[in-house]
C-alpha cells in the first residue's frame, strides 16, 4: 500500500490540513530554515558564534529530516510522535540559545515554531487515535 493510502486510512482529527496544504506550508518554511540555519552554521565555523548556540540547530535539522522517513517510510506513529516532540523542543532551545547573539534568527523561527506546534498536536492526536488496542 502506498504512503498516501496508508495515511488516508488513519483516523485523523476533523481539522487535519490536506497534504497539499502541509506541503505548501513547508515550501514557505524551508527557505527560512535554510537561510537561518546556514547563517548560524557559518557563524559557528567562523568562530563568531559558540558551538553551544549552534548545537540545537543541528539537532533540530536531524530530527526534522528524520520525521518523514519515520512517519511515512517506517509508518511508526509512536516514533514519529517522539520525533516531532524533539523537533518542537529544539526550536524553543534554538530560539533561547541564539537570542543573545542574533535576535533576528530567533525571531525568524516564530513561523516555524507556530507550524510545528500545530503539527505536534496533530501528530499526537493521530498517534493516540490510531494506537493499537
Q: In whole angstroms, what separates CA 68 from the centre of its chain?
A: 10
| pLDDT digit string, tens, across residues 73-107 | 999 999 999 999 999 999 999 999 999 999 999 99
Range of the domain at 24: 20-129
Determine, yes or no, domain membership for 1. Answer: no
- pTM recorded for the entire structure: 0.94
Query: Quick one: DSSP state of residue 1?
Result: -
User: How many domains is the chain built from?
Assistant: 1
Q: What is the mean pLDDT of residues 9-37?
A: 96
Determine, yes or no, domain membership for 64. Answer: yes
Which of 86, 83, 59 is CA-nearest to residue 70?
83
Residue 47 in grid coordinates? 568562530
Q: What is the mean pLDDT of residues 46-60?
A: 98
Please say whether the beta carbons of 27 and 111 come within 8 A.
no
Query: Quick one: DSSP state of residue 18?
Result: P
Determine, yes or no, domain membership for 3. Answer: no
Determine, yes or no, domain membership for 95. Answer: yes
Amino acid at each position: 500500500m502506498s504512503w498516501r493510502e496508508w495515511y488516508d486510512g488513519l483516523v485523523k482529527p476533523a481539522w487535519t490540513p490536506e497534504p497539499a496544504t502541509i506541503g505548501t506550508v513547508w515550501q514557505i518554511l524551508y527557505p527560512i530554515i535554510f537561510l537561518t540555519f546556514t547563517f548560524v552554521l557559518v557563524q559557528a565555523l567562523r568562530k563568531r558564534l559558540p558551538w553551544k548556540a549552534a548545537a540545537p540547530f543541528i539537532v533540530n535539522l536531524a530530527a526534522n529530516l528524520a520525521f518523514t522517513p519515520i512517519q511515512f517510510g517506517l509508518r511508526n506513529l509512536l516514533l514519529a510522535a517522539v520525533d516531532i516532540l524533539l523537533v518542537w523542543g529544539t526550536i524553543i532551545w534554538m530560539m533561547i540559545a541564539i537570542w543573545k547573539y542574533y535576535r533576528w534568527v530567533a525571531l525568524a523561527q516564530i513561523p516555524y515554531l507556530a507550524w510545528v506546534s500545530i503539527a505536534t498536536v496533530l501528530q499526537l492526536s493521530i498517534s493516540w487515535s490510531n494506537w493499537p488496542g
